[in-house]
Structure 1
Amino acid sequence: MTANRVLYLLGSAAPPVLNIGNVIERAHAAGWDVCLGLTPTAARWLDDQLPALEDLTGHPVRSQYKLPQEPDVWPPADVAVVAPATFNTINQWALGITEKFIVGFLAEGIGKGIPMVTMPCVNAAYVQHTQFETSIATLRAMGVHVLYGEGGFVPNEPGKGRPEAYPWHLVWDAAQSALT
């Protein structure tokens, strides 16, 4: 299948990101041209895989802002997916704290009207912090499709996560729906 839709896959440092190569392969099989962006910590976790991930996507993996004089190396996004999205990424995005490349792209992307889907990956202890629910509500109010709670990601108890059970299929369904 020839890819004609561009998906920005943006990931944070949560355990499901460690299997991002398989996720990209599934996206390619569904006809997506994938550009991979990572938080700096996620990039550090995947450091030994970055060259292979660039070969797989055909695009540079980005985790830092480009310099002003540098050209943009990715085609324009049709849809942006933020998964897994950590407590930190969700809160920074909702609050407009853009020191990270992916959060800066997302904050600007809302204003540009780029369809966005996010699925957190947080444990039940983090979601007790009142800012998390406020951030989820803020993102939803800005038009972000947030897959959290019933029909999305349900937090696990600390230390009881199962990265292999992260429901990526929900992300793909939502990304496809965002195009229509």
Structure 2
Amino acid sequence: MTTPVLYVLGAAAPPVLGIAEAVHRAQADGWDVCLGLTPTAASWVEEQLPVLETLTGHPVRSKHRRPTEPDVWPPADVALVAPATFNTINQWALGFTANFVAGFAAEAIGKKIPLVTMPCVNQALARHPQFERSVETLRQAGVSVLYGESGFVPNPPGSGRPASYPWDIALSEAKRILETA
């Protein structure tokens, strides 16, 4: 049996600073992990990028590849978009593909790649009317959105707890989807 491939695609929310721990957890669960980041998230962890590439055994991607370049990652069995910011959720749901993470996630819906996402937004952003519409759009497209009591519960603005981001819930959902696919 081949090792299943999990794409972990992170946006610039504080939990991305601990992305290496999430990769370790996924690998402990038996995944071959490929890591993609939004450009801002990549800049936040810039010093960690060589370590993350060694850890995963794959290049960390933060931009679209050129049409003439080969894809350097194996095909995904499941993709996990986490942490997913307010911008990422809305861009993805609306089909705006300006960055690698939103672009991959939007296309993955059409390719029928199983998708899990867990937002990381504060309560003020979560109250914006577009956010709920975007969450519902993604759910209707077949994305497993871990938001609310079954996933990430927003904090008041300025009181984030990145160390308590529930990576285990997201990784468990990815595993569940793999097993039922």
TM-score normalised by structure 2 residue count: 0.97
**% same residue:** 66
Question: What secondary structure does 1:125 align onto?
Answer: helix
Instruction: Give yes or no for contact 1:80–1:114 (8 Å, CA) kept in 2.
Output: yes
In the alignment, structure 1 segments of 5+ residues that lack a partner are: none
Deviation at 1:25, TM superposition (A): 0.8
| 1:105 maps to 2:65 | no
Query: Aligned residue for 1:69?
Result: 68
Deviation at 1:173, TM superposition (A): 1.1
| 1:152 maps to 2:151 | yes
In the alignment, structure 2 segments of 5+ residues that lack a partner are: none
| 1:121 maps to 2:120 | yes
Q: What are the Cα deviations for residues 16-70 of structure 1, in whole angstroms up to 9, with x where unaligned?
A: 0000111111111111000000000000000111011000000000000011110
Corresponding residue pairs, total: 179
TM-score normalised by structure 1 residue count: 0.97
* In 1, Cα distance between equivalents of 2:53 and 2:2: 16
Deviation at 1:107, TM superposition (A): 0.7
Q: CA RMSD in A?
A: 1.0
* In 2, Cα distance between equivalents of 1:165 and 1:174: 17
Instruction: Give yes or no for contact 1:78–1:114 (8 Å, CA) kept in 2.
Output: yes
* In 1, Cα distance between equivalents of 2:18 and 2:151: 19
**2:53 counterpart letter in structure 1:** E
Query: Aligned residue for 1:49?
Result: 48
Query: Aligned residue for 2:24?
Result: 25
Instruction: Give yes or no for contact 1:98–1:104 (8 Å, CA) kept in 2.
Output: yes
Query: Aligned residue for 1:89?
Result: 88
Instruction: Give yes or no for contact 1:117–1:147 (8 Å, CA) kept in 2.
Output: yes
Deviation at 1:125, TM superposition (A): 0.7
* In 2, Cα distance between equivalents of 1:3 and 1:11: 25
